[in-house]
Amino acid sequence: MNMVVSHWSANVAALAVYAVAAAAHLLGMRGETTGSGPPRQPHRLARAVAYQAGLLLALLAVVSPMGYWSYRFIWARNLQDVVLAIVAPALIVLGAPWRPLSRGLRLEGGRLPRPDQRTAGDAADGDAARRNRSAGWRAWPVAVAVAFCAIWWAWHAPALFDAALHSSAVYALEVASYLTVGTLLWLQLVDSPPLRPQLSPLRRVGLLLGVAASGTVLGLIRVYSSGLAYPAYLGFRHHVLSVISDQQVGGAVLWVIPLVPFSIVAVALAVGWLSEDESEATAADFDRLLRHKSAWPSRPGLR
């Protein structure tokens, strides 16, 4: 037990980034609380907790014993990858920290003019810009999913996987790329006000299934591979697991654990889509009922 709790690292860069991101968010939340009027989001506290939890989880993946054992065991390294690329970004996106971070970092620009202060030309330009932005965003979800899968496979290629073990710069790049592309992926899947996914719920399920299938293939390759993929781990003593067995357990981590959050979100999206479809059908039936001409005479007793 003492051996486990003692393996903490004082990663100055990770601690500094965490401190800035957490403090800026708390300052932004404080400004929102002390401002006039009702809070902008009904679940503001729950979102704040989710963001801070995701941020803390990303830090712990680097500075806690998980970071230490990731240099000794492949399965621990793969578990760290799942946390950094999937679990922590999911919590960060669910936390919708964009407005508080903008306030905390003083990035908010000037206020937009009120609708009655905008000219017709301004309104037309704004509508055109929104249309262009919307058209551009339609191509992003697939591109983001492809980028996520490409980065996921690239960092688990033997050359880069071993390079991150020996170079702190390459390791820092790996962590940053995981958090970045993971956040971008979840932004395509769940609401993170004021940002909204561009795809319908059913298409988001398809996107999620594609990403999950890509990760599953990589995990299966590692589970059923009998050859040594990561020779950099040969220098460490594996008291229980051989390097090949360690590699296979790591493949199981890449295969199974990501399916848990992916399945939860896929089910939630499917249920939301079914509820929305059912509510639209009910509204359409009710509308047809109201517009249907009654067969009863408008004035009883008259023919």
Give pLDDT, residue 288: 52
Give pLDDT, residue 277: 52
Q: Does the pLDDT value for residue 267 go beyond 70?
A: yes
The answer to whether residue 299 sits within a structural domain is no
Cis previous bond, 297, omega within 30? no
d(CA 122, CA 131): 14
The answer to whether residue 122 sits within a structural domain is no
The answer to whether residue 128 sits within a structural domain is no
Q: Could you tell me the two tokens for 203?
A: 């298409």
d(CA 66, CA 8): 9
Name 18's Cβ contacts closer than 8 Å, sequence gap at least 6. Answer: 55, 56, 58, 59
The answer to whether residue 119 sits within a structural domain is no
Range name among 51-65, 125-139, 270-284 with the lowest pLDDT average: 125-139
Q: Does the pLDDT value for residue 54 go beyond 80?
A: yes
Name the nearest CA neighbour of 183 among 174, 192, 170: 192
**Structural domain count of the chain:** 1
**Percent above pLDDT 90 for the chain:** 58
Domain of 220, in residue numbers: 7-106+136-230+241-284
Contact 204, 189 (CB under 8 A): yes
The answer to whether residue 295 sits within a structural domain is no
pLDDT digits (tens, 9 = 90+) for 71-95: 989 999 999 999 999 999 999 999 9
The answer to whether residue 121 sits within a structural domain is no
- Mean predicted confidence (pLDDT) in 92-104: 94
Buried b (16+ CB within 10 A) or exposed e, 37-53: eeeeeeebeebbebbbb
d(CA 8, CA 3): 10
Within its chain, how far is the Cα of 266 from the centroid? 13
pLDDT digits (tens, 9 = 90+) for 35-46: 444 445 557 899
Q: Does the pLDDT value for residue 210 go beyond 70?
A: yes
Q: Both ends of the chain: CA-CA distance in Å?
A: 93
Which pLDDT band, with edges at 50, 70 and 90, does 122 fall under?
Answer: very low
The answer to whether residue 1 sits within a structural domain is no
The answer to whether residue 220 sits within a structural domain is yes
Instruction: Decide which of 232 and 187 is more confident.
Output: 187
Identify the sign of the CA torsion 251, 257, 260, 265: negative
- Mean predicted confidence (pLDDT) in 249-260: 95
